[in-house]
Chain A
Amino acid sequence: MTDDTPKKLFHHEATRRTVQRDVDDEMRFHLEQRIDDLVARGMSADDARELAVREFGDVKAARAELASMDRRRVRKFAATEWIASVGQDIKFAARSLRKRPGFAAAVLLTLALGIGANAAIFSVVEAVLIKPLPFSRPDRLVHLWEVYQSRVDNRSEASYPDYLDWRARNRSFSDMAGYYAGAFVYGAEHPQIVRAGKTTANFFDVLGVHAELGRTFAEGEDAVGAPRRVLLGYGFWQRGFAGDRSVIGRTITLDGTNATIIGVLPKDFQFARVGNVSIWAPIDRLDRSRQQRGMHWLNIVARLKDGVTLRTASLNMSAIMGQLAREYPPTNNGRDAQVIALRDQLIGSVRPLVVLLYGAVAVMLLVACANVANLLLMRGADRRREVAVRIALGAGRGRLVRQLMTESLLLAVLGGAAGLVVAHYGIHTLVGVIPPGQRPPALADVGVNGPVAIYSCLISVVAGVLFGLVPALREARPQMAEVLKQGVRGSARAGAVRDALVVGEVALTIVLMSGAALFGRSLVKLMSIQLGFQAEHLTIAGVFLPDANYVKPELRVATFDQIVSRARALPGVDAAGLVTKLPLDWGNSVGFDIVGQAPTEPGKEPTASYRTSSPGYFSALEIPLSHGRDFGAGDGVANAPPAGIVNRAFAEAYFKNGNAIGQSVVMGGGRDTIHIVGQVGDVPIGNIDEHIPPTLYVPFAQDPETYMSIAIRSQRDVGELARELTRIVEETAPGAGVVNPMAMDQLITNSSSVFMRRFPLLLIGAFAAATLVLALIGVYGVVSYSVAQRTRELGIRVALGAQTRSLVMLVVRHGAWMAAAGVTIGIASSLLLGRFVAGMLYGIGARDPVTLALVSIVLGVAAVSATIVPAKRATKVDPAVALQAE
């Protein structure tokens, strides 16, 4: 029997690769030992071998069996080991962060802002661009337009007869439906105006939307004269009816007549093109509108048949429009149809803005990561001795990198969690900045939801890797001998990495700042447009009379006259006037012929934006009357010749000498001849940055409506005036009401052309400011650190008699060099990226040199200022202390 205690033990960790070899070694040892023993007892070598193998059993099977057992064991062991070590890493990382609370706080704050802003914008991206539309199989839905002479900028809604023909003749769609945006006067006692969507009966069937409660419209309910049935939007149902489930079948008053509630739409239903709608009703145009092929008022959505592509459908629609042009040349000549995906139609206009903002927060997050990476690099240099000791004690490089990465990821995850809190508040601020009229319905319930949380987790991890990897690799480099000998002096290359990160930060900051500055300058240019009227100290409101009680035109005129007279008499009111459509409010256009000029082809007659106004309207808005006279009390009364006032654009477009006074026009539909009695200055009728079209005003008494806008010139507070106006209106006309009182400036600020510059300016400006602070912290941190590192060198310089000035310059030059490099790269990037914003600016090029120069100067000065404190510190180095220090 052999002596069975080991002479010497040695450690050798089995891995999956060495398992088979170990098993073989073990079995070989057994067999050889047995053979030796047997031979020693006098057996022949061959017999001994044979017996040893026989005693062992199936050698081959054993070999495989043992190896597979060991492999299982090694695997299990590795897994538990790994989990334990990760736990250890996390504990270690947490401990090391607790030891440096200042560092941890700086990193967490930076990341919370970076990730938070990113998550907030992502929530908008998710709600607007990613989330599927709340319809059944939304990718099969399209929007249809009529286009004139194949020009997309010349597109219009469909006429009702065209819609009917499209529906009957097409082979591409399973069905199509029509809709348009409208409004109702809702309620009888305290009427208010609510937004409405008006649709053909099959609209919700085409979208594949089912009622949350009750039903949607049935065939025939959109017929002329059918009793009015309506659906409530979910929000309106909650607000106005407290979510009462018994509303179905109840009667409400709309425009002074009864309507029956038949259903409530689901919570997530929204249709961006009509905004936040309270009430959905069947289309209610009269026969006159429905029969005219020249009247374009119906938006069309359609569902593609399975297997039909957009292109096939387009060809099919063009063919149908070709037939219609041959059948009805006066109205349909030159008309074609356009088919576009519904998704593009609904979100196409906001996509560039959302993408731009997302780009801006991505840049901000990159800068945040660069800053954190720098903090880690600097701390890494401080920790070099500790790391060197650990390497000397046998920690592998991979293990060390993992340890350091764990720390970065822990920071990232904690920062991400804090970022979600930032995002939560950020989203609400962000949505709050958007005027209700500009707010896409998709943003109604935006917030930190599942996808946003998952996204934040992902970007936190990505950020952690981004800012942690380089410092970890650098820190874990085995250079112990050198470090242990030299102490904690940073190497030149580590300094270069830190400088490069700061240069990158400055460059990215330039990009954001120049973006913000471009929108800022666009906004300034936009706001300095001559509006053609005085928007300050002007209060505006809508005034409506209940249709049912004011059928007689004379009564409408008398009532509105009384209201505006009493408004003028209010204390502190200088002037007041009425108009159907105020500036910045699109209205109808009319076609007409000019008396004395050759009649034009049908469809090509002169057109003008059309609005009616009361006497005194132009002076209330301070729109200059350049020629002729304003409307007076004698206009619009029986037997008075119909009068009109035109704007300058009208006179210049249609009369050779630019003078319209004394000319006459005949409006389409064979109405009266209008004599032009006055000419006023141009005011924008839609967006303020758009071309102002010819505009024709007629006395409101000549074409009285039940809804007018009132403009009151007064220095007084809007709220007070609104209350007094409401009192006047309610006293003068029971059932009448005032809607949307506001200051005219407010209307301008909330208008889409201003909003589309102001919103990016606010957000990109905020991101740019945050990024600027980060970049300056970056410059400051790196320069301070290098001063601290060079204490010895600076001490020697002082000892050798260096002047304060030259020491300051030494430090400032470092900062200035980084700023200059960053600014150069930043400007180059801005020039490259300019084309993405070019279309969103106003009155300024995306590569505007003045803007870029301005931004560069601001950043350059700020960056150099950030070096002053460390520079001062450099001059205070005491050579004696500095030289003793090491």
Chain B
Amino acid sequence: MADLDLLQGTLDTLVLKTLSWGPRHGYAVAQWIKATSDGTINVEDRALYVALHRLEERRLVESKWGLSENNRKAKYYQLTAAGRGQLKQRSADWTEYANAVFKILRIA
């Protein structure tokens, strides 16, 4: 698995996780990831939007237009059933993977 793929897959998973509590627009997703990771994960917003659109193309999320809290027209993303399933699967994979890596590092 190439680094880029790992990163891309990771970003997708994080985006899906962000949307798991309900519909959000892109800006909110970006802010949430930055805030929650305490700035550790600091991707360009552009990459984030590419991820969102990619997920939409794969029908893991769907989008609707809505009004933001300050009455601006914003595009809201929301998980589809498939997206929810994907998130569950990826989370499990990730945990397993991270545990394995963590275990190895601890032994060494």
Contact = CB atoms under 8 A, between A and B. Distances in A.
B88 interface: no
B46 interface: yes
Contacts of A66: 49-50, 53
A34 B68 CA distance: 13
Given A26-B75, A69-B54, A1 B67 contact: no
Given A4-B32, A6-B66, A72-B57, A29 B45 contact: no
A70 B54 CA distance: 9
A2 B68 contact: yes
Interface in B16-41: 22-28, 30-32, 35
Interface string B41-56: 0001111011001101
A22 B75 contact: yes
Interface stretch (A54-62, A151-159, A645-653, A783-791): A54-62
Contacts of A34: 27
A577 B71 CA distance: 114
B65 interface: yes
Interface in A269-300: none
Interface in B55-69: 56-57, 64-69
Nearest to A1: B31
Interface residues of A, number: 36
Contacts, number: 107
B69 A73 contact: no
Interface stretch (A7-15, A140-148, A418-426, A603-611): A7-15
B23 to A, nearest CB: 6
B66 A25 contact: no
Contact of B45 (A9, A10, A12, A30): A30
A742 B79 CA distance: 88
Contact of A2 (B49, B67, B69): B69
A73 B50 CA distance: 13
B3 to A, nearest CB: 19
Contacts of B71: 7
B53 A25 contact: no
A30 B44 CA distance: 13
A27 interface: yes
A33 to B, nearest CB: 5
A65 interface: yes
B50 A69 contact: yes
Nearest to B76: A6
A68 to B, nearest CB: 10
Nearest to B50: A65
B54 A29 contact: no
Contacts of B49: 26-27, 30, 62, 66
A73 B64 CA distance: 15
A32 interface: yes
Contacts of A25: 73, 75
Contacts of B76: 6, 9
Contact of B69 (A3, A61, A62, A70): A3
A657 interface: no
Contacts of B65: 9-12
Given A6-B66, A55-B45, A62-B50, A29 B30 contact: no
A21 to B, nearest CB: 11
A6 B44 contact: no
- Greatest chain B CB density within 10 A among A6, A11, A62 is at A6
A38 to B, nearest CB: 12
A491 interface: no
Interface string A15-57: 0000000100111011011101000000000000000000111
Interface of A: 1-12, 22, 25-27, 29-30, 32-34, 36, 55-59, 61-62, 65-66, 69-70, 72-73, 76
Interface of B: 22-28, 30-32, 35, 44-47, 49-50, 53-54, 56-57, 64-76
19 contacts: A1-B28, A1-B31, A2-B31, A4-B22, A5-B22, A6-B25, A9-B23, A9-B66, A9-B76, A10-B66, A30-B26, A30-B45, A33-B68, A33-B72, A61-B46, A66-B50, A70-B53, A70-B56, A76-B57
Given A4-B25, A72-B57, 11 more contacts: A4-B28, A6-B64, A6-B67, A6-B68, A29-B73, A56-B44, A65-B46, A69-B54, A70-B56, A70-B57, A73-B56
